[in-house]
Amino acid sequence: MTKEKILVIGASGQIGVELTLALREIYGNNNVVASDLREENPLLKGSGPYVSLDVMNKEMLHVQVIRQNITQIYLLAAILSATGEKNPGLAWHLNMQGLLNVLDIAREEHIHKVYWPSSIAVFGPTSPKQHCPQQTIIEPTTVYGISKYAGEFWCNYYHMKYGVDIRSIRYPGLISYKSAPGGGTTDYAVEIFHDALEDKKYTCFLSEDTYLPMMYMPDAIRATIELMEAPAEKISIRTSYNVTGISFSPKEIAAEIKKHMPEFEMAYSPDYRQGIADSWPQSIDDTVARNDWGWKHEYDLPAMTEDMLKHLPETPE
Ligand code: NAD
């Protein structure tokens, strides 16, 4: 078997930190190069190589891929849904050009595998609200959703036309305690734990009955690695796979936290992110991922809440 050398772009972000650490466990510390525009996340320090890299600088990226003998690329650098609505031009530019730079280099350098996440944000108000299927009406209304949907078709194109082995998941909102979320509409489900532990109260920027698809980070990391390790012939979707974990509302997660912390209080003050949340499905159907590569989530709302409340206080800010 060829020795793999992995480049993670956007390694200092919410997913990047945990994915880099998980990949280092599997492939060895020195075979996973972390990179980001911002400084190395403290949780990564000392665990393996780090390079400062701007995915928009194609030449610099190309040089690093050659210099480090990279065989797999995980592209996580992006501008997320809520931040994207504040600066649509920048979100489109980074989310598209960053991906095209990686796809071009992957093609030229015969990179073995590329991973790039899409999002449930591809779905829009005309998509089914419940158990939204893999193939359905997709008319996104945020710039983030538009960029992800376009990106999915670029991935499919590079696979069909140039044989690039690119794999992708439409992540739901991700909940984690190790690194902070990066400006998404589902960030409330992480903030709530921080504020519950610090102040015993939280004011939510979504209304109490806003159901959204979510997933606990250990499930998301496992889904990513299982997809990337699946034999190529099992991968029938080269746009991006629906995967699902848990669907809940702010009211339900507050009630779950109250079981551990009866004094916890929740208030609601919906802002512009309510409109984004209302455009998305409330739950996702991931039958295709389950059938193709055996995906199955483990964490439900009670298990995730218990684990977050246990580990968050031990995690350095
Ligand atoms: P994040 O914002 O926490 O991390 C992104 C990282 O990319 C940051 O560390 C940032 O510094 C880096 N970055 C930004 N511009 C860069 C550039 N030009 N060059 C190099 N690095 C740059 O985001 P995340 O939550 O870790 O998301 C990672 C991926 O997963 C994104 O594609 C995102 O759209 C997708 N996703 C995330 C979620 C979620 O809930 N977190 C849900 C769906 C999809």
For the stretch 107-152, pLDDT in tens is: 999 999 999 999 999 999 999 999 999 999 999 999 999 999 999 9
Other C-beta atoms lying within 10 Å of the C-beta of residue 156 = 16
What's the gap in Å between 265 CA and the centre of ligand 1?
31
What's the gap in Å between 10 CA and the centre of ligand 1?
6
3-class secondary structure, 233: helix
Ligand 1 pocket residues where CB is under 6 Å: 9-10, 12-16, 36-38, 53-56, 76-78, 80, 94, 117, 119, 171, 173-174, 181-182, 184, 186
Token reading at 92: 């489109």
pTM: 0.96
For residue 315, what pLDDT band results from cuts at 50, 70 and 90?
A: confident
Token reading at 38: 């911002």
Q: Is the pLDDT assigned to residue 46 strictly greater than 60?
A: yes
Token reading at 254: 């507050």
Does ipTM top 0.90?
Answer: yes
What's the gap in Å between 257 CA and the centre of ligand 1?
27
How far apart, in whole angstroms, are the C-alpha atoms of residue 96 and residue 106?
15
For residue 314, what pLDDT band results from cuts at 50, 70 and 90?
A: confident
Which sequence positions are flagged as catalytic?
A: 144
Q: What percent of the chain has pLDDT over 70?
A: 99
pLDDT tens-digit series, residues 202-242: 999 999 999 999 999 999 999 999 999 999 999 999 999 99
Q: Which residue has the tokens 């997709």?
A: 138
Atom 25 (ligand 1) nearest CA: 14
Question: Pocket of ligand 1, candidates 21, 44, 65, 171: which has the most ligand atoms within 8 Å of its Cβ, to mutate?
Answer: 171
Q: Is the pLDDT assigned to residue 274 strictly greater than 90?
A: yes
Q: Is the pLDDT assigned to residue 43 strictly greater than 70?
A: yes
For residue 27, what pLDDT band results from cuts at 50, 70 and 90?
A: very high
Contact in structure between 160 and 237 (CB atoms under 8 Å):
no
Atom 9 (ligand 1) nearest CA: 13
Q: Which atom of ligand 1 is nearest to the CA of 41?
A: 9
Q: Which atom of ligand 1 is nearest to the CA of 121?
A: 43
Mean pLDDT, range 82-100, rounded to an integer: 96
Q: Which residue has the tokens 């800010």?
A: 317
Mean pLDDT, range 2-30, rounded to an integer: 96
Token reading at 291: 């059938």
Identify the pLDDT of residue 180.
Answer: 84
Question: Pocket of ligand 1, candidates 8, 12, 15, 61: which has the most ligand atoms within 8 Å of its Cβ, to mutate?
Answer: 15
What's the gap in Å between 41 CA and the centre of ligand 1?
13
- The whole-chain average pLDDT of the chain stands at 96
Q: Is the pLDDT assigned to residue 1 strictly greater than 60?
A: no
